[in-house]
């Protein structure tokens, strides 16, 4: 349930993503390679720097001035530099199923992010954002499958500027399911040869997801407990039944 390798390569490489979006006429922040930054005439700070192939907000930094830029260009391996856009980050779940065409778009505002994954979010049923997401996925062609997860920043002026395309389920997708966009059921129905009834706006507005820590406690016993070692511990075998 995944797109063709060429699509995945475009999405993993943030320069290729930028070029694809720009060529498709979709609003996206200006993005530079280190070579382009070196020869850029007038840079406006703040900027953003991130790994060209990164994910989950790994090594993403805001750059306030040239001191920051010079330091992180030295420290981050294979980086890109991006125009800094102020606004509210939104994730868009675009259901394409087996047809490869956008059939439902659920925007979710990211109120709080932890380790690159949304920890507080809310469904925002905004026709402009939904339509913008539809156009991005249509531009990708019909080789995409399942769910495509887009990220954009919505500015105070209402510009919808796309920064990420992930041709797969994202970590926050359960919020769309809770709002009534039942992707797993639709996929299973398609796989069974049925024709799921999917409305483009068939979900509830304003549903909010709050994530919190839950714990499982597992008695490994002293004999099975790994010894103290100076490196990161590998995770031992365990019985995954939660204690409560």
* Positions that interact with a second copy (CB under 8 A): 67-68, 71, 74-75, 86-88, 109, 111, 114-115, 117, 119-120, 122, 124-126, 154-156, 174-175, 178, 204-226, 228-230, 232-233, 235-236, 238, 243
In the complex with a second copy, the residue whose CB is nearer, 22 or 75, is 75
Minimum CB–partner distance for residue 230 and a second copy (Å): 4
Alpha carbons 209 and 172: distance in angstroms, whole number: 9
Minimum CB–partner distance for residue 133 and a second copy (Å): 15
CB proximity list for 22: less than 8 A, separation 6 or greater: 28
In the complex with a second copy, the residue whose CB is nearer, 153 or 165, is 153
Minimum CB–partner distance for residue 68 and a second copy (Å): 8
In the complex with a second copy, the residue whose CB is nearer, 68 or 138, is 68
Alpha carbons 186 and 166: distance in angstroms, whole number: 20
Alpha carbons 123 and 242: distance in angstroms, whole number: 30
Question: 3-class DSSP state for residue 193?
Answer: coil
In the complex with a second copy, the residue whose CB is nearer, 193 or 221, is 221
Kindly list the distances between the CA atom of residue 185 and the CA atoms of 65, 102, 120, 197, in Å, as whole numbers in the listed order.
Answer: 49, 16, 25, 11
Alpha carbons 150 and 92: distance in angstroms, whole number: 5
Minimum CB–partner distance for residue 41 and a second copy (Å): 26
Alpha carbons 119 and 159: distance in angstroms, whole number: 24
Minimum CB–partner distance for residue 190 and a second copy (Å): 25
In the complex with a second copy, the residue whose CB is nearer, 13 or 117, is 117
In the complex with a second copy, the residue whose CB is nearer, 4 or 64, is 64
Minimum CB–partner distance for residue 206 and a second copy (Å): 4
For 130, other C-beta atoms within 10 Å of its C-beta total 19
Alpha carbons 185 and 174: distance in angstroms, whole number: 13
């Amino acid at each position: 349930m995944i797109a063709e390798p060429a699509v995945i390569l475009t999405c993993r490489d943030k320069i290729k993503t930028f070029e694809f979006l720009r060529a498709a006429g979709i609003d996206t922040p200006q993005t530079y390679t280190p070579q382009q930054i070196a020869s850029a005439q007038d840079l406006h700070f703040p900027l953003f720097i991130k790994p060209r192939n990164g994910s989950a907000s790994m090594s993403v930094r805001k750059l306030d001035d040239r001191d920051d830029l010079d330091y992180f260009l030295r420290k981050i391996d294979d980086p890109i530099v991006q125009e800094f856009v102020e606004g509210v980050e939104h994730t868009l779940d675009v259901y394409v199923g087996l047809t490869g065409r956008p059939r439902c778009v659920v925007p979710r505002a990211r109120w709080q992010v932890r380790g690159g994954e949304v920890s507080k979010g809310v469904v925002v049923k905004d026709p402009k954002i939904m339509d913008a997401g539809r156009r991005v996925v249509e531009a990708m062609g019909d080789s995409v499958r399942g769910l495509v997860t887009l990220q954009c920043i919505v500015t105070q002026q209402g510009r919808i500027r796309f920064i990420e395309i992930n041709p797969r389920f994202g970590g926050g997708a359960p919020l769309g399911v809770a709002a009534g966009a039942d992707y797993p059921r639709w996929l299973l129905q398609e796989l069974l040869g049925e024709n799921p009834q999917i409305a483009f706006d068939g979900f509830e507005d304003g549903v909010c997801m709050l994530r919190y820590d839950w714990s499982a406690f597992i008695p490994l016993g002293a004999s099975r407990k790994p010894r103290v070692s100076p490196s990161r511990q590998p995770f031992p075998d365990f019985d995954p039944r939660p204690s409560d």
